[in-house]
Structure 1
Amino acid sequence: MPRIPAVMATAASVALLLPLAGTAPAATPQTSDRQQQYAAAAAEFGVPAQVLLGVSYMESQWNTYAGTPSVAAGYGPMHLTDFATADTVKSTEFDQSDARGDDSRPTLHPAPAPAGVPAAALQTVQQAAQLAGTTAAAVRSDPAQNIRAGAALLSSYQKQLHPQGDSIGDWYAAVAKYSGATDEGSARDFADEVFETIQQGETRTTDDGQLVTLSPDAVQANTGQLADLHLTPTSSNGAECPARLACELDPAAYAQYGPGPDDYGNHDTSDRPATQKIDYIVIHDTEGSWDTTLKLIQDPTYVSWNYTIRSQDGHVDQHVLAKDVAWHAGNWYINSRSIGIEHEGFLAQSGWYTEAMYRSSAKLVRYLAAKYQIPLNRQHILGHDNVPGITGPYIPGQHTDPGPYWDWDHYFDLLGAPRFPSLPIPAFGMLTVRPDMASNNVPFTGCTTAGTPCPARGSSEVILHSQPSDDSPLLGDIGLHPGGTPQTMDVNDVGSRVATGQQYAIADRQGDWVAIWYLGQKGWFHARDAVFAAGFVVTPKDGKASVPVYGRAYPEASAYPVGATPQPIVPQPYTLSAGQFYVFGGVAPAEYLPTVYDPTGTKNKPVVGKLRYYEIQYGHRVEFVNADDVRLVPAL
């Protein structure tokens, strides 16, 4: 393989930062029914309209989500909460699965989690409904009544705290109380974000087509009012978080629980990044409540992750320090080189993610990406659903969170990822997937019951077809469906779909359709759901009909020290064939991290090989190829 000139390597790294979207033109402010509902509710209950709009934006981005509850049991634009009705406690993400992804150790299957206990803060619907003179059912289902009830609740907080306050800035404490946070830092973060939104202004079209505008206002928040809430101080205790993010250290359990060498948990000690570079951040959802999740992290027989983020207010708990390796992604190679962040929520069964949680998560990821030099792109900021199974038998069991309703476009906007103008896609080169999430209503099934249509809502994912036609079959995934059964529209069946921000090599173009190389096939979708991108792709070297694809980048046997058992280099059931191209995601060093119970963190050091791998975007998940098997070329 010839050495890539430095200028090309730099261009490749820049290409990996290409945008999820171009800068959209600002919408012309208009008056809509929803805008009038906010104005009327503000006037009725004596709440400044800017405050009402700012709070609602921080909760829901002014969306209604068709009356479905959020992952924190919140309803409507004002995110008024009703845990008893939402009933969002279910199983947790790692029940019955081994998140370590290390087949050199006995399989670990955690026991199902205990049921969570709802917090008192999750019951504001009834109080708000009473204050507004309406019913709880109306508050949950009618946006206008939801906004009225939210305004009534805000007004009641203001009367309790600062009845004489007459300026917008004097609503700071009431806004902080509305978050439901019980610690100072989380309440402060929520209120600060609300008032920054008021200062900057916002205009957007909601999920039900309503244009809403919050005009900029140079208001100065009376932040000193926070002390009037008498909340618990937020104690970081050494948590690794950015400034202005409420974050506490809640250490994961690390202990031996049996006589065997692998009877310890629930993570491994190490010394990253001195021993291994941290290359990935993996986005998860908990599939369980906040309370349940925090109980599980204290169980040494369970698994682990680095951070958890609470939905209602964006509060962050850290459990595993970045130097250590959490068991979260189901792929040991990815685990040993990543940080895992759990977000309170459910990918399909119930709910949507709050703006407060998106913003806290983005602050945290920006901080981690800068600290560990992790590129802000979808090759390195992965969903759990983008992490490959380690070998063929493990592919069907890989997880699918955070799912098609996680708003990657908005998330990367909050991350401040580099943006370039959107360009139409040609019949060559590569593209970035970018549907309009608000209007991209994909008919998934199985959100609650297998085969049953999911509630209508926007999605960040696009379905692939075998031909340029909506009536043609979906692509087949021999790894996910090894028996040859066809792909389905089940919300967890990721074998024939792509997601916002992912990049692929263009294989063909017919009219309004474009095809990409995907799992060794041409996958067709509407060209309107992508924008042109530039970068590098890999293809088999001349003379090779196909080359193997791997789920991990392990070193050659000769790299292991004497007495150590080399880990096998096992190909996936997939191949990369001549004439096909897949987007290059970066060089992946050949490493394997042996493990042993070691409270000092000095023994767990990686075996480093001479092999070189490239990460590629092969299907919905990333994969790896041996650099000696392929050519790295510009996408032309």
Structure 2
Amino acid sequence: MSSGLPARRARTALCATAVAAALALPLTGPPSPAAAAPSAPPGTSLTTAFARAAEAHDVPRDLLVAVGYGETRLDDHAGLPSQDNGYGMMHLVSNPERHTLEQAARLTGASLADLRGDTGANIDGAAAVLRALADEAGLDAADRDRLGAWYPVTARYGAPGSRATARLYADAVYDLLADGVRTRVDGGERVTVAPRTVRPERGPYAGTDADAGLAAAAEYPSALWNPAYSGNYAAGRDSAITTVVVHVTQGSYAGSISWFQNPSAQVSAHYVVRSSDGQITQTVREGDTAWHARSANPYSVGVEHEGYVDDPAWFTDALYRSSAALTRYLTDKYGIPRDRAHIVGHSEVPGNDHTDPGPNWDWAHYMSLVQGDDDGATGTPFPTWGSDVSIRQGPTTDSARVASLPGPTTVRVACQVHGGLVEYDGYSNDAWSYLPDRGGYVSNIFIDVDDAWLPGVPTC
């Protein structure tokens, strides 16, 4: 069943997650369709698709959007699967251990092809799976009206492995509900979730400390410890550590950690870095051989970065800085030269066929951070203020969010094209700050400390 809604890609406006081979598993029985969202005509908006699916399956619309945004930034990635073989904006998964794609087919009657490639069917399928999980958890109609009650359901949907990983996933979704989502998809449509205060009802995940208790076991001081399945790496090393390999997860942070815990994965990495705030999780001991880069496995440490190679919005300043600090730690610890011969991308390792970290990865910026040169230029650096504002220096503006910043500079604000490079004071950068524009929503905004509109950058 096709919803008629074309595949879509999102162009994000707010940051708060190696393509696997297709594993099209057969259904275990004939479909027994539940109530599916009515078929949507061609050209139906994404907002309408979320509303239809939410109503059909009695799932909160805002939860659906937050789950999709956390998984893919509402980008279907042209139908290509994620690292753990998840498809579409809602990341319906088909691998030997997880079958939400097949489950969605049974529940809605949609074909596997439509669930993989049609955005409306993908959203409807995810809503059906969430509702089925809610029924298994015993949520009645009154419970389903409370966003907080969906926390354990969300955890099981996104990361059914360890409880710690599931909590990382669900916490990220509920952070999005608290912060709100404001994004644009192709064609200019705005998809929003209004910020609200939600008290997560964690249930069986309440005793899982995803942020503190796991840290003591990690080797890198600020990392969490969430180990990969023992069959997804080799104990010990055959060679000295001489290289750091940079990867992009092709999936979400918690989803990638969960994949490394999946016995069918046969892959792992030593560390994973989160996009929104740079949080780091260690999944394999540095003294063990993670399976991440084929020929380089024996002599390298693999560092995964949350995101997709085709979307630069995942590569935040927080991610770059946190990863660079980790790489500095590794190079100091193992005497690795801080150069591009020893800090390489997955695509640069001999015998590999992967493309990550891809053309959107800013190697000049990253290496300058690793080498301790701030932003790698003689110009004014971009310090970070808060969790989602990147600026060159400490200006003041009329915005309540940054009015307390030190510094006398009064700035002008220009809307930056998503992912476009801005030239300033000796080098390029595609960083943006998130401040309210004149339309009342959050968009990609660049702080112009020269107090002049940047050439070629559209105004708000």
SS of residue in 2 equivalent to 1:71 = coil
Asked if residue 70 in structure 1 is aligned to residue 82 in structure 2, the reply is yes
Change beyond 3 A, Cα 1:157–1:364:
farther
Asked if the contact 2:272–2:303 (Cα under 8 Å) also holds between the matched residues in 1, the reply is yes
Change beyond 3 A, Cα 1:237–1:37:
same
Change beyond 3 A, Cα 1:403–1:134:
same
- Say which of 96, 99, 112 aligns to 1:136: 112
Asked if residue 320 in structure 1 is aligned to residue 286 in structure 2, the reply is yes
Cα distance in 1, alignment partners of residues 339 and 189 from structure 2: 34
Cα distance in 2, alignment partners of residues 296 and 125 from structure 1: 21
Please name the residue that 1:284 is paired with.
247
Asked if the contact 1:129–1:136 (Cα under 8 Å) also holds between the matched residues in 2, the reply is yes
- Say which of 327, 333, 345 aligns to 1:384: 345
Asked if the contact 2:317–2:390 (Cα under 8 Å) also holds between the matched residues in 1, the reply is no
Please name the residue that 2:60 is paired with.
48
Asked if the contact 1:250–1:319 (Cα under 8 Å) also holds between the matched residues in 2, the reply is no
Change beyond 3 A, Cα 1:33–1:79:
same
Please name the residue that 1:341 is paired with.
303
Change beyond 3 A, Cα 1:183–1:435:
closer
Aligned residues: CA RMSD: 5.8
Cα distance in 1, alignment partners of residues 358 and 331 from structure 2: 27
Please name the residue that 2:358 is paired with.
404
**Structure with a larger share of its residues in strand:** 1
Q: Residue 140 of structure 1: CA displacement?
A: 1.5
Change beyond 3 A, Cα 1:138–1:43:
same
Asked if the contact 2:214–2:224 (Cα under 8 Å) also holds between the matched residues in 1, the reply is no
Please name the residue that 2:427 is paired with.
431
Question: In structure 2, what residue type is equivalent to 1:50?
Answer: D
Cα distance in 2, alignment partners of residues 34 and 328 from structure 1: 37
Change beyond 3 A, Cα 1:283–1:154:
same
Asked if residue 160 in structure 1 is aligned to residue 123 in structure 2, the reply is no
Question: In structure 1, what residue type is equivalent to 2:196?
Answer: D
Residue by residue over 1:272-307, the C-alpha shift from the partner in whole angstroms, topping out at 9 and shown as x without a partner, is xxxxxxxx964225899856997578xxxxxxx633
Cα distance in 2, alignment partners of residues 359 and 62 from structure 1: 21
Cα distance in 1, alignment partners of residues 13 and 107 from structure 2: 40
TM-score (norm 1): 0.40
Asked if residue 173 in structure 1 is aligned to residue 152 in structure 2, the reply is yes
Q: Equivalent pairs: percent with the same residue? A: 24
Q: Residue 167 of structure 1: CA displacement?
A: 1.1
Asked if residue 221 in structure 1 is aligned to residue 183 in structure 2, the reply is no
Cα distance in 2, alignment partners of residues 180 and 149 from structure 1: 17
Q: Which protein shows a greater Rg?
A: 1
Change beyond 3 A, Cα 1:317–1:41:
same
Asked if residue 307 in structure 1 is aligned to residue 307 in structure 2, the reply is no
Please name the residue that 1:120 is paired with.
97
- Say which of 37, 60, 73 aligns to 1:61: 73
Cα distance in 1, alignment partners of residues 71 and 55 from structure 2: 21
Residue by residue over 1:576-608, the C-alpha shift from the partner in whole angstroms, topping out at 9 and shown as x without a partner, is xxxxxxxxxxxxxxxxxxxxxxxxxxxxxxxxx
Cα distance in 2, alignment partners of residues 170 and 327 from structure 1: 37
TM-score (norm 2): 0.53
Asked if residue 35 in structure 1 is aligned to residue 11 in structure 2, the reply is no
Is there any run of 5+ residues in structure 2 with no aligned partner, and where?
A: 1-11, 16-43, 251-255, 275-279, 333-337, 367-383, 393-412, 433-454
Asked if residue 266 in structure 1 is aligned to residue 267 in structure 2, the reply is no
Asked if the contact 2:312–2:360 (Cα under 8 Å) also holds between the matched residues in 1, the reply is no
Residue by residue over 1:349-401, the C-alpha shift from the partner in whole angstroms, topping out at 9 and shown as x without a partner, is xxx79999999978973873797899xxx9999651697x9xxxxxx989874
Change beyond 3 A, Cα 1:24–1:55:
closer
Please name the residue that 1:493 is paired with.
none
Asked if residue 368 in structure 1 is aligned to residue 347 in structure 2, the reply is no
Asked if the contact 1:283–1:384 (Cα under 8 Å) also holds between the matched residues in 2, the reply is yes
Q: Residue 227 of structure 1: CA displacement?
A: 6.6
Please name the residue that 2:185 is paired with.
206
Asked if residue 147 in structure 1 is aligned to residue 105 in structure 2, the reply is no
Cα distance in 2, alignment partners of residues 127 and 326 from structure 1: 30
Cα distance in 2, alignment partners of residues 144 and 49 from structure 1: 14
Cα distance in 2, alignment partners of residues 124 and 193 from structure 1: 20
Q: How many residues align?
A: 325
Cα distance in 1, alignment partners of residues 185 and 343 from structure 2: 27
**Structure with a larger share of its residues in helix:** 2
Q: Residue 172 of structure 1: CA displacement?
A: 0.4
SS of residue in 2 equivalent to 1:56 = helix
Is there any run of 5+ residues in structure 1 with no aligned partner, and where?
A: 1-22, 27-31, 84-118, 256-264, 271-279, 298-304, 390-395, 437-526, 530-636
Q: Residue 44 of structure 1: CA displacement?
A: 1.5
Change beyond 3 A, Cα 1:133–1:400:
closer
Change beyond 3 A, Cα 1:424–1:433:
closer
